Amino acid sequence: MATTHQIKERIAAFARELAAAMGEVDDSDAFSWLDAVETKAIEIGDAVSVELVRQKSTDRPATDAESTCPQCGKLGRYRNHRERELISRRGPVTIREAEYFCPCCRKAFFPADPRDRR
């Protein structure tokens, strides 16, 4: 895994690449040139965040073969992964998550990460 310093260097290189690709920022509707640049930077940051969440959820390894059904408390079996749209703090994102099936309830369920309940 890359260190924080290495990630910062890669972000700096990526930002230079993006700045070159963007060319001049249109500041005709902005309070100032700096405001226009920051607005564009925020849009790009949001898009990078959403893409990172999407990719990390897609690359996440297979989970447990069984998981506890939130409705009846019995074990359900892993069935497959499915895509789900959710609204992240940075905008809509499609994630992939493990789907389990409870034979007692005859329903699919998607166990939450226990850390989400904190």
Q: In the complex, which residues of this chain contact Zn ion (CB under 5 A)?
A: 69, 71-72, 102, 104-105
Q: CB-wise, 49 or 70, nearer to Zn ion?
A: 70
Q: Where are the beta strands (DSSP E) in the chain?
A: 66-68, 75-88, 91-102, 107-109
Q: CB-wise, 1 or 65, nearer to Zn ion?
A: 65
Q: CB-wise, 53 or 111, nearer to Zn ion?
A: 111
Q: CB-wise, 88 or 101, nearer to Zn ion?
A: 101
Unique residue bearing structure tokens 């897609």 = 58
CB 109 within 8 A of CB 97: no
User: What angle is formed at CA 113 by the lines to CA 110 and CA 114, rounded to 5 degrees?
Assistant: 120
CB atoms within 10 A of CB 28: 6
CB of 116 vs Zn ion, minimal distance in Å: 20
Tell me the torsion sign for CA atoms 36, 38, 44, 49. Answer: negative
